[in-house]
Amino acid sequence: MKTDNLIMLIAQDAQVRSNLDHMLQQAIIAAILIAAIGFFSAIGFRPDIDNAMGTGRFLFKFVITISLATSGGLVMFRIGKPGVPWQSVAWSLLVPLALAIGAAVFELSVMPPETWGIRMIGHNSRLCLTIIPLLSIGPLACFLLALRHGAPAKPAFAGAVAGLASAGIAATFYAANCNDDSPLFVLLWYPIAICVVTAAGALAGCRLLRW
């Protein structure tokens, strides 16, 4: 009962909520800037970016990655506040996966079966599995630092959500360099890289966000 009372007191503390919101807002700005600096200093845009921007497959990658960053951010703003319901918002985390699956199904329906394997394997799987986690390090650190100003009831899950949001930001930048635009490639390799970041966030959350 003492723990429940403490949670209720923290939940009623408007100053704590305001401080967490402010810290998360600052963390988002810092996360995007850090990922951008890492992206442009290390790899930059793909050479044919002008032509790629005229294709639906290329642009839809950003729909998926931005929706991941956005849904992760929405949950972060709730999960760090005890007593604030977040479960209904957490369902939004499935939106990027649904979009990726839908795009992949459409790809399968319009492309010859003999091309499916080639499109799925692509040419940049190693870069995908390397760059997304690396670009996520700075954003994840920003989000974990901000969440320490809150009091998440589920530290591991809060860290995992921070990892999802970080990976969404990193994947958005990486998508501008990746020349594998097939939804089959995105559905296979992007989630693997994102899961690595999510797991790292969960492990870090267990240690850093416990109270």
SS3 of 93-154: the string is: HHHHHHHHHHHHHHHHHHCCHHHHHHHHHCCCHHHHHHHHHHHHHHHHHHHHHHHCCCCCCC
pLDDT tens figures, 114-162: 999 999 999 999 999 999 999 999 999 999 999 998 888 889 999 999 9
Tokens of 91: 């369902």
- Whether pLDDT at 18 is above 60: no
- Whether pLDDT at 59 is above 60: yes
Tokens of 56: 């639906």
What is d(CA 62, CA 181) in angstroms, rounded to the nearest whole number? Answer: 11
What is d(CA 79, CA 72) in angstroms, rounded to the nearest whole number? Answer: 10
What pLDDT is attached to residue 151? 80
Give the residue-averaged pLDDT of 10-31. Answer: 75
Give the residue from 195, 186, 147 showing the smallest Cα distance to 26. 147
Give the residue-averaged pLDDT of 175-202. Answer: 96
What is d(CA 22, CA 26) in angstroms, rounded to the nearest whole number? Answer: 6
What is d(CA 207, CA 154) in angstroms, rounded to the nearest whole number? Answer: 12
What is d(CA 135, CA 9) in angstroms, rounded to the nearest whole number? Answer: 37
Whole-number average pLDDT of the chain: 90
Give the residue from 194, 201, 197 showing the smallest Cα distance to 67. 194
What pLDDT is attached to residue 173? 98
Residue 9's pLDDT band, with cuts at 50, 70 and 90, is low
What pLDDT is attached to residue 80? 81
Amino acid at 68: L
What pLDDT is attached to residue 14? 44
76 touches 112 (CB < 8 A): no
